Structure 1
Amino acid sequence: MIHVLQTGPLNTVQDLGRFGYRNIGVTSSGAMDRLALTVGNLLLGNEDGAAGLEIQTFPFCVRFEKDTVVAITGADCNASLDGRPLPPWWAMPVSEGQVLELGAPLRSARAYLCFAGGLDVEPVMGSRSTSLRGSFGGLEGRFLAANDRLSIAEREISAVPGGGFGAVPPETALASHFPAPEDGVLPVRAIPAGEHALFGDEAERFWTQTWKISSQSDRTGYRLSGEPIMLASPVEMRSHGVVPGVVQMPPAGEPIIQMSDANTAGGYPKIAGVVEVDLWRLGQARIGSRIRFIRSDVAEARAAEQALQAYLEDIRHTAPTLIQALATMSRR
C-alpha cells in the first residue's frame, strides 16, 4: 500500500493502454511515454504493462506502507527518499514508513513511478489505465488526490541491495536513432497522410516551419501554434477513425496531434502521421516547447523501432543478472 501525501491534478494510474474498443468509442488511454513506463517495469521484473503512476504535476509525495521495490523513470524530477537524492531512471528498495518526493522536472514533462508487482486496481476492459474523459479505470476514473491509498499487487520481491541500480536513459542510449533537439526544437518524424495532397503547395510549410505546443494541449491531443496551413480548396469529409500520432488540420490551419487519449473518430483532414516510435518523445514535450516535423519513411521508422526494441531487450536481460550480482556481493 502507498499513501499519497501531496499531489497536483492530472496525476493518474496508467498502464500501456486499453485496446480493442475504439469501435465503440473507447479511447486507448495509457502512458503518454510508454517507453518510460516499460523501462520502469523491466527494472523491477514486472510485465511490461504493469500499472504505475504517471506524474505530470509537481510536487508529488508518497509514503510507503509496506516494504517493496520501486523504479522512477521519465523526467528527471529531483527525486529523494527520506531527503536523500536519487538518480533518474533508477530502481531501489524502499521500507515501510519511508517517504518519496518528486520535484519539478529539470526537463521533460512526465515522471513514472513503478512498483514491484504493479498497482493493484480493478481492470476495466482489460486495462488499469485511467480514462479521465470516461471517468473509469485507474482509481475511480479520476486523478489522484491527497490521502489516497493504492494497493500494490502481492509478489515475491527479489532483494535489491544497497542503493539500487538504474538504466541508461533512452535519449543517451539511442542518441544515434533519436536526434537531440536543436536550439530547443524537438525533431518529430512523420509520414504524409491521406489528405496531405489536398493542401497543395501549402503542405511544404507544414514540414519547414517550427510549431509551438499551445496551452490548449492535454492527453487527448497537442494543439500546435504557427503560421496556418490552409487547404488548396474547400473539402467536405466524413468522420473517420483516428489513432494516436495522427496529425489533423482543423479549418483554422493549426495542426492537432492526437495523443494517448486520442479521439476515436474525426472529420478533419489528416496531413501527416507521427511515426509510433517517436510518440514517447512527444509525450515528454512540455506545453510551450517547440517541435519541427521531419518527413520520414517506413524504413527509417523500422530502423528506429528495432533499435528501441534492442534497448528494451538489453534491460530485460540485464536487470535480473544485476540484481543477482548485487545480492551476492551484499552477502559477502
Structure 2
Amino acid sequence: MIEILTGSSLNTIQDFGRPHAMAMGVAQGGAMDRLALSHGNLLLDNPVDAAGIEIVFFPFRVRFHAETSFAATGAACPATLDDLKLPRDWAITARPGQTLTLRAPEQGARAYLTLRGGLDMPPVLGARSTDLKGGFGGLEGRALQKGDRLSCLAASTLRLPAAGYGLTRPCPLPPADGTRIRVLPAAEHDVFTPESLQTFHSAAWTLTPSANRMGYRLEGQNVLKLSRPLSLFSHGILPGTVQVPPAGQPIIQMMDANTCGGYPKIATVIAPDLRLLSQTVVGTPVHFETITRDDAVQIIRREAAELSRLATEIATLRTQLVF
C-alpha cells in the first residue's frame, strides 16, 4: 500500500484507456505517454497496460506502507527514495516507511509511477483509467489527493538488487528547442489554401498554456484559412486529430478528447509522436512533418518491435542480476 503525500487536480491513475468504448461516446483516455507507462511495467514484470500514476504536478511524494517494488519512468525528474538518488527509468524495492519524491522535470512533462502488480482499482468499461470529465474510473473518478491510500493487485514477490536496476535506453523525450511531429493529411487537408498548407508544414508553432489531457492549443504568427466556406456536421474524431477552429490556430486532440467535433481537420498526428507531444513543455516550438501512410505503419511497427525486444532484454537481465 502507498499513501499520497501531495495532492493535485492533475495527477491521476491511468492504464491504456478505453479505445473500444469510443463508439459509445466515451473518451479513449489512458496514459498520455503509453511508452513510458509500458517501460515502467516491463521493469516490474507487469502487463504493459497495468494501471499506474500519471504525474504532471510536482513535487510528487508518496509513502510506502508495505515492501513494494516500483518504477519511475517518463520525464527526467530528479528522484529520491528517502536520501537515495535514483537514476532515470529505474526500478527498486521500497521498504515500509520510505518516501519517494519526484521533483520538477529537467526534461519532459509527465512522469509515471508503476508498482508491482499494478494498482488495484475496479475496472470501469474495461479499464482502470481515470476519466476526469466523466467522473469515473481510477479512484472515484477524480485526481489523487493528499491522504489517498492505494493498493496493488496480488503478484508474486519481485526480487531486485538493493540498488535497483533500470533501462540502458531510456524512453525518448523531445528536445527543449523544439518537437518534430509527424502527421498524415486529414479529411479537410486539401480544403485549406495553398498558403495555409505551406504555413502549417513549415512554420514553428508554439505550445500554449491551454494544454491538458483533452487538447493542446498551438499558436503561430499566421492563421490557417480555408479556400472556400465549409460547413460540417459534428463527426467522429480521434486522439491525434489536428482541428482548425475559425480563429485559424490548430488544436491537437489528446487522450481525453471528445469523440466528435465539427471543426475542419488538417492533419492527424501518428501515435508514436502523440506521446512525444504529451512530453512537450509549454512554450516549446512544434514543427509538423507530413509523411505517408506506409511510413506511419513502418514507424508504428518499429516501435512495437523495439518494445518487444526491450521486454526480452529486461527478462534476460533480471535472470543475471546478483542479489
TM-score range, shorter chain: over 0.9
Q: What are the equivalent positions in structure 2 for 1:151-190 lying under 5 Å apart?
A: 151-167=151-167, 168-171=169-172, 181=175, 184-190=177-183
Native 8 Å contact 1:277 1:301 kept in 2: no
CA distance in 2: counterparts of 1:230 and 1:246, whole angstroms:
17
Report % sequence identity: 46
CA distance in 2: counterparts of 1:171 and 1:217, whole angstroms:
21
Q: Identify the residue that residue 108 of structure 2 maps to in structure 1.
A: 108
Native 8 Å contact 2:132 2:143 kept in 1: yes
Aligned AA for 1:303? Q
Deviation at 1:154, TM superposition (A): 1.2
Alignment TM-score, normalising by the size of structure 2? 0.96
Q: Identify the residue that residue 295 of structure 1 maps to in structure 2.
A: 290
1:322 aligns with 2:322: no
Deviation at 1:234, TM superposition (A): 1.3
SS in structure 2 at match of 1:131: coil
1:217 aligns with 2:218: no
Q: Identify the residue that residue 228 of structure 1 maps to in structure 2.
A: 223
CA distance in 1: counterparts of 2:270 and 2:4, whole angstroms:
36
Alignment TM-score, normalising by the size of structure 1? 0.93
Deviation at 1:305, TM superposition (A): 1.9
Q: What are the equivalent positions in structure 2 for 1:197-208 lying under 5 Å apart?
A: 197-201=190-194, 202-208=196-202
Deviation at 1:95, TM superposition (A): 1.1
Deviation at 1:289, TM superposition (A): 1.5
CA distance in 2: counterparts of 1:61 and 1:276, whole angstroms:
30
Deviation at 1:39, TM superposition (A): 0.8
Aligned AA for 1:154? A
1:312 aligns with 2:269: no
CA deviation string 1:48-70 (max 9, x = no partner): 11000000000110001111210
Deviation at 1:320, TM superposition (A): 2.3
Deviation at 1:298, TM superposition (A): 1.9
Deviation at 1:102, TM superposition (A): 0.4
User: Which segment is superposed worse, 50-59 or 296-305?
Assistant: 296-305
Native 8 Å contact 1:7 1:58 kept in 2: no
1:243 aligns with 2:238: yes
SS in structure 2 at match of 1:54: strand
CA-atom RMSD, angstroms?
1.3
CA distance in 1: counterparts of 2:4 and 2:211, whole angstroms:
26
1:59 aligns with 2:56: no
1:271 to 261, 266, 272: 266
Native 8 Å contact 2:116 2:158 kept in 1: no
Aligned AA for 2:62? V
User: Which segment is superposed worse, 304-313 or 45-54?
Assistant: 304-313
- Unaligned runs of 5+ residues in structure 1 are 173-179
Native 8 Å contact 1:8 1:59 kept in 2: no
SS in structure 2 at match of 1:257: strand
Aligned AA for 1:16? F
Deviation at 1:204, TM superposition (A): 1.6
Aligned AA for 1:170? C
SS in structure 2 at match of 1:319: helix
Native 8 Å contact 2:64 2:97 kept in 1: yes
CA deviation string 1:1-48 (max 9, x = no partner): 100112332000000111222222110110000100011111111111
SS in structure 1 at match of 2:306: helix
SS in structure 2 at match of 1:294: strand
Deviation at 1:302, TM superposition (A): 2.4
CA distance in 1: counterparts of 2:182 and 2:318, whole angstroms:
36
Native 8 Å contact 1:15 1:129 kept in 2: yes
Aligned AA for 2:273? D
Native 8 Å contact 2:39 2:171 kept in 1: no
Native 8 Å contact 2:74 2:171 kept in 1: no
Deviation at 1:307, TM superposition (A): 2.4
Aligned AA for 2:288? F
Native 8 Å contact 2:13 2:54 kept in 1: yes
Q: Identify the residue that residue 16 of structure 1 maps to in structure 2.
A: 16
Aligned AA for 1:308? E
Aligned AA for 2:190? A
Aligned AA for 1:224? L
Native 8 Å contact 1:11 1:144 kept in 2: yes
Number of paired residues? 320
Aligned AA for 1:91? A
